[in-house]
Structure formats: structure tokens, C-alpha cells
Amino acid sequence: MDDSQEDQRLPHHREPKEFIPLEKLSELGIISWRLNPDNWEKDENLKKIREARGYTYMDICDVCPEKLPNYETKIKNFFEEHLHTDEEIRYCLEGSGYFDVRDENDQWIRVAVKKGGMIVLPAGMYHRFTLDSDNYIKAMRLFVGEPVWTPYNRPHDHLPARKEYLDKLVKTEGGNQAVEAH
């Protein structure tokens, strides 16, 4: 993505536009699936993913000015570059938004998440989130065990999760631990 300071909700394509293949995201440790959000309660693929990866906690949140208390403050916090000590798992049930992640050269990559998209960001990866110009997302949040909401704003390179992530980046050559789902 470009380095413009324009509205964070815009696509921020470089000129000329550059698109990143899914394999590149996989090399960075990101896992994704395309699922059926209209039938998520009965979706066997979602059930398989949750069981295989140990996602026992789930909730659903609406991010938009009308439904999220302290919206302006929270959207600014989501857009602060940070990492977590656990995976960040989001499944877009409605709407859309962007996850910005850093590549191995510390350049931003903007990942568009739309209805039906499920994304897993690895623990220790610097990232940020924003809505797109539609200003709405309904997302399922998943966790292994009890949820841990703590963001560690950059720099927090001393955290074990960050060191483990960087070690995996060096060792991984496109390997992926994804669960088969269609």
C-alpha cells in the first residue's frame, strides 16, 4: 500500500497498483478461508476449522458508528500498529474492512476482508485494522480458550510472541498449517 496520510478507509493502492498473491500472505503466516456467512451457525467447514485449531470462544461484534460505543476512540485504537501474544482470528459475516500487515521488509500490505472471509493473523505479527469507506463490519471473533484482548503497540519486539513470529518467518518457506475447508 502507499504511504499516503489520506483517509485510512481508502484502498491506498500504490501507483501502478500492486497485488500480492495469497502465497505471499501464507509465507507471512497468515491463513485465510472463504466460508458461507449466511449459514455460519450450521457451517460444517467453520465447525471443522474451530475444532482443528481449538477455537473454543466466539463472539460477534458490529463495528460502525451506530453500534459501537466510543466508536471514534476505538477505531483509532484499532488503527494503531500493534501485535498480540495470541492469534487474531476474524470472520467477516457482513460488511468489509482492511487488515494492514507488515511484510519481511517492514512494508505495509493491505488485506481486504469481505463478507465470507475468515483471516488468522499469527501471534507476534504487527498489524492494524480499519473499516473501508462503507464504514461497517460485522465480525466473529474467535479465540483459543478465554479471550485476550491486549494489544501491544509498536515497538514490543522484546515479547516472546514477537521473537517466535520472526523465527518462524525465517524458517518458513511458504509452509502453511491450514485446515482443509471449502
Reported as a single tens digit per residue, the pLDDT across 40-50 is 999 999 999 99
Contact 118, 92 (CB under 8 A): yes
What's the confidence (pLDDT) of residue 180? Answer: 53
Instruction: Show the cell assigned to 14.
Output: 500504490
**pLDDT class of 174 with cuts at 50, 70, 90:** very low
Which residues are paired to 99 by β-bridges? 111, 129
Instruction: Please write the tens of the pLDDT for every residue from 145-156.
Output: 999 889 999 999
Annotated binding site for Fe(2+): 82, 84, 88, 127
Q: Domain limits of the chain?
A: 22-171
Residue 24 clears pLDDT 80, i.e. is over it: yes
Annotated binding site: 82, 84, 88, 127
The single residue listed with the C-alpha cell 471473533 is 141
- SS3 of residue 26 by DSSP: helix
pTM of the model: 0.91
pLDDT band at 160 (very low <50, low <70, confident <90, very high): very high
The reported pLDDT for the residue numbered 182 is: 47
pLDDT digits (tens, 9 = 90+) for 93-129: 999 999 999 999 999 999 999 999 999 999 999 999 9
The dihedral through the CA atoms of 61, 113, 94, 64 has a sign that is: positive
CATH class held by domain 22-171: mainly beta
Instruction: Examine the pLDDT at 27 and tell me if it is beyond 50.
Output: yes
Binding residues for Ni(2+): 82, 84, 88, 127
pLDDT of res. 176: 47
Cell numbers placing 150: 491486549
